[in-house]
Amino acid sequence: MQKMTPSFVASALAISLALAFPAHADSAKNAAVVKEAPLRAHLAFLASDVLEGRGTGQRGADLTVAYLETQALALGLKPGNGDSYRQSVQIAGVKTQPAESTLKLEAGGQALPISFGKDWVFAPGDATASHSFNADLVFVGYGITAPDEQWDDYKGMDLKGKILVMMVNDPQPTAAQPNRFNGKGLTYYGRWTYKFEEAKRQGAAGVLLIHTTPTASYGWSVIQNSWSGVERFQLASGTLGTQLQGWMTDDTARALFKAAGQDIDALRTAAESKDFKPVPLAAKLSGEMKAAVRKVEQFNVAAVVPGTDPKLRDEVVIYSAHWDHLGKQGDTGDTIFNGAVDNASGSAALLAMAQEAVRAPAKRSQMFLWVAAEEQGLLGSAAYASAPLWPLAKTAANLNLDSLNFVGATRDIGTQGSERTELGKLAETAAKAMGMHIAEAEPDLAGGYFRSDHFNFAKNGVPAFSIESGREYVKDPAGSKAKADAYGKRYHQVSDEYDASWDLSGMVQTAQYTLNLGRLIANGAKLPEWKAGDAFAKPRNGK
């Protein structure tokens, strides 16, 4: 476990505060140069054990919000919500109580010998503490209704009160249709969040997703850490989910289908065709599900650098990053999920960027937005999009930062998603000015575009994407790539901790690039738009 002495914490705070007030103003040439020292100081503190992993609804969350708003005030940023830096996010906290639950899967007249956490996980999706089930299971393939793809896995079947078993990801490309569902890239239809939403629209009582590492893009341990023995969250208002939401391992699914007299591989093959129809299983979910439910208030933190142009200052460029991680879990050993890379890095970068933006304002206003509860399903950014502090119709763009480069400087920068809009050309211009180029686009196998906070802006018509690390490392390319790849084993684990030996030149580079691009947008003649024909090409929400 990472240890930080009081003196180290005090030093980190002192450095960041001291650098917020330079002895002499920079020259115009250097007025917006992101510096490593404040970024590193913020990163070290945000990732420290002092903030206890910044868990939603936990003490560390309160400390994190207090730190961010204090730093925003020290930097001279204006409050983004009237006279406050905080925007309330009302959340329902739900923690499954497996010991009190009697839930079981039955097939062929027998209950499957499975255990919560090891073989399957479940939780209420409607913030209700107790549910009783005696519901039939139905396999619905990918569980997708996509008019734009002429695809409907439900075929009009009445599924009210049923438990839907479905695959994650979306139908794979074929030789005849190499580009269906974006080819090898994941679409929003493949995201687990969409699956739950569609099941609710179908009137189902619940959903059990079948996990495989290739289709989910992460191992079962990620599911365990996010669902087993921890509190999960959803927005407290708006459309609630189905009574039950959950996952099962591939081995559990195979045992279930076999006991129900079905060949899971044959059904998976059938589900790759648009002719697929739901298949009732000779199986059911029965028993009671118990959970502890509470209401939690969390906060987005919003701070603004006003624009200098009398007309354009009414429009805004938003830089965002989520401040939360997984908090404290368990009772023994290392219990703190520090989330140094994910996403103390992005939160620290925003503070370092804001320090420079104050010195050199742009024509349009610039908002620095730290959102809550990203790890719980992009809840903070969803709350912002539903009640924006700045009209979305006057929001030029959202540039999001999540899990930044801790390895070293690169010759390229990742801007996947920018090509959907007029931001693509500006992204190239900003990269060229820094002696970089845009990273070669790769199929979005993990659906990254739909898994970060910018997506809630995109759904509401605001051009938005996340800026990602490049992969063409300047120093020791092979070794640096291996170091970056090794992070996969630390993702959502207690081992995602800050290391003082990290080369932050790449992180500073990404922050500088993001600020430079934001300033190009903020000083531009007009608001950027989506490209015609893109799935999100629609007018900005007028709110």
**Which uninterrupted H or E stretch holds 213?**
helix 213-216
pLDDT, residue 542, reads: 64
pTM metric for this prediction? 0.82
pLDDT, residue 362, reads: 98
| Residue-wise DSSP of 299-333 | EEEEEEE--SSTTGGGSEEEEEEE--B-EE--SSS
d(CA 339, CA 335): 12
Please give the torsion angle defined by the CA atoms of residues 486, 490, 491 and 492, in that order, rounded to the nearest 10 degrees: 170
User: 255-261 long-range contacts, Cβ below 8 Å, gap at least 24?
Assistant: 255/112, 255/114, 256/105, 256/107, 256/112, 256/137, 256/165, 256/281, 256/283, 257/139, 257/281, 259/107, 259/108, 259/110, 259/112, 259/283, 260/107, 260/108, 260/137, 261/108
d(CA 244, CA 474): 49
- Token pair listed for 108: 């062929």
Distance, CA of 514 to chain centre: 18
Q: Is the peptide bond before 398 cis (omega within 30 degrees of 0)?
A: no
- Token pair listed for 251: 């081995």
CA distances from 472 to 419, 432, 480, 491 (A): 20, 15, 9, 22
d(CA 213, CA 71): 40
d(CA 288, CA 133): 6
pLDDT tens track, the chain, 543 positions: 444 443 444 444 444 444 443 433 333 444 799 999 999 999 999 999 999 999 999 999 999 999 999 999 999 999 999 999 999 999 998 999 999 999 999 998 899 999 999 999 999 999 899 999 999 999 999 999 999 899 999 999 999 999 999 999 999 999 999 989 988 888 889 989 899 999 999 999 999 999 999 988 889 998 998 898 888 888 887 778 999 999 999 999 999 999 999 999 999 999 999 999 999 999 999 999 999 999 999 999 999 999 999 999 999 999 999 999 999 988 899 999 999 999 999 999 999 999 999 999 999 999 999 999 999 889 999 999 999 999 999 999 999 999 999 999 999 999 999 999 999 999 999 999 999 999 998 777 777 788 899 999 999 999 999 999 999 999 999 999 999 999 999 999 999 999 999 999 999 999 999 999 999 999 999 999 999 878 777 788 766
pLDDT, residue 14, reads: 43
Q: Which of 494, 481, 448, 449 is nearest to 340 (CA)?
A: 494
pLDDT, residue 543, reads: 62
Q: Give the amino acid at 501.
A: S
b/e sequence 267-277, b meaning 16+ C-beta within 10 Å: bbeebeebebe
Domains of the chain: 36-93+294-523 (3.40.630.10), 94-293 (3.50.30.30)
pLDDT, residue 410, reads: 98
Distance, CA of 332 to chain centre: 28
Q: What is the CA radius of gyration of the chain?
A: 24
b/e sequence 4-42, b meaning 16+ C-beta within 10 Å: beeeebeebbebbeebbeeeeeeeeeeebebbeebbbbb
